[in-house]
Amino acid sequence: MAKNYYEGLSGNFSRPGLVSLALGETLIQQADDFIALKEADLPEIDANYSRDQIEEENKAWWPTHCEALRRARGDLLRGEYRSDLVYFCQDGPFYGLDQQTDREKHWWALIAQPGVTMCWPIVMFWGEFVHFEWHCLDDESGEAIAKGTVCWVRRGHRGGCYFKSEQLTFYRDVFASPRLLELLQA
């Protein structure tokens, strides 16, 4: 039986065309607001900041992350990370915010390029863990140009993402052209 992974979330990013421009604008503002709540030290999970609260915050954050990627908002995407990020992927591992920057900007530019729509058909939450699968579709042909499976460990709005593990597959390009990189908001 099919499951709607977006039930109860503020936006559905499982396919193209399900999020209005007005909702997208609201989500971009919320993304900025959530990033502003990130604390310098990773907060403890305790009676004052429970696993359940963190999970609810991650559910509120998720649609803002999707909208930021669709809009090539590298500034917001980078703001979601903690400065001590650990990022495991086939090109990594990367530690901190500087090691993956050059590589990741190519990925963001490719998956947010004009004529392509990134979709996340599966997203699951468990406390500070956010697991999702994504693919990018060419708007004209429906061809999948890239796909991946990701796990974020995000300590809610107060903590941000401190661990990310990702498997990415790019079918057309693996490095963005200078023109696409110019479209990415830094």
* 21-183: CATH topology: Nuclear Transport Factor 2; Chain: A, (3.10.450)
**E runs forming strands in 42-114:** 81-88, 94-95
What pTM does this model have? 0.90
Distance between CA 138 and CA 57 in Å, rounded?
31
- Residue 107 has a CB neighbour count (10 Å cut-off) of 21
Are the C-beta atoms of 131 and 147 separated by less than 8 Å?
A: no
pLDDT digits (tens, 9 = 90+) for 54-63: 999 999 999 9
pLDDT digits (tens, 9 = 90+) for 86-128: 999 988 899 998 887 777 787 878 888 899 999 999 999 999 9
